[in-house]
Homo-oligomer: A and B are copies of this chain.
Amino acid sequence: MKKIINDPATVVAESLRGLAAAHADLVRVEYDPDHVVRVGAPIADKVALISGGGSGHEPLHTGFVGAGMLDAAVPGPVFTSPTPDAVQAAIAATTGEAGALLVVKNYTGDVLNFETAAELAAAEGLDVRTVVIDDDVAVADSTFTAGRRGVGGTVLLEKLAGAAAARGDALDDVESLARKVVGQVRSIGVALSPPTVPHAGEPSFDLGAQEIEFGIGIHGEPGRERISAEPADALVERMLDAVTGDLPFAEGDEVLLMTNSMGGTPPMETYLAHGIAERLLAERGIRVTRRLVGPYITSLEMQGISVTLLRMDDELTQLWDAPVHTAALRWGI
Contact = CB atoms under 8 A, between A and B. Distances in A.
A123 interface: no
Contact of A300 (B55, B212, B268): B268
A139 interface: no
Question: How big is the A interface, by class?
Answer: 35 or more
A241 to B, nearest CB: 16
Contacts of A144: none
A298 interface: yes
6 contacts: A4-B232, A4-B265, A6-B231, A58-B271, A264-B266, A265-B301
Given A2-B193, A300-B266, A271 B229 contact: no
Interface string A258-280: 01000111111111111110110
A151 interface: no
A10 to B, nearest CB: 9
Contacts of A295: 266-267, 295
A300 B266 CA distance: 6
A66 interface: no
A272 B14 contact: yes
A18 B278 contact: yes
Closest 4 CB pairs of A and B: A18-B275, A18-B271, A58-B267, A17-B275
A12 B193 CA distance: 22
A295 B56 CA distance: 16
Interface in A18-65: 18-22, 55-56, 58-59, 63
Contact of A18 (B210, B264, B293): B293
A15 interface: yes
A63 B271 CA distance: 11
A217 to B, nearest CB: 16
Contact of A291 (B15, B21, B305, B333): B21
A126 to B, nearest CB: 31
A288 B298 CA distance: 28
A268 B11 contact: yes
A293 B263 contact: no
A91 interface: no
A5 B231 contact: yes
Contact of A15 (B2, B6, B275): B275
Given A19-B271, A265-B301, A275-B18, A209 B3 contact: no
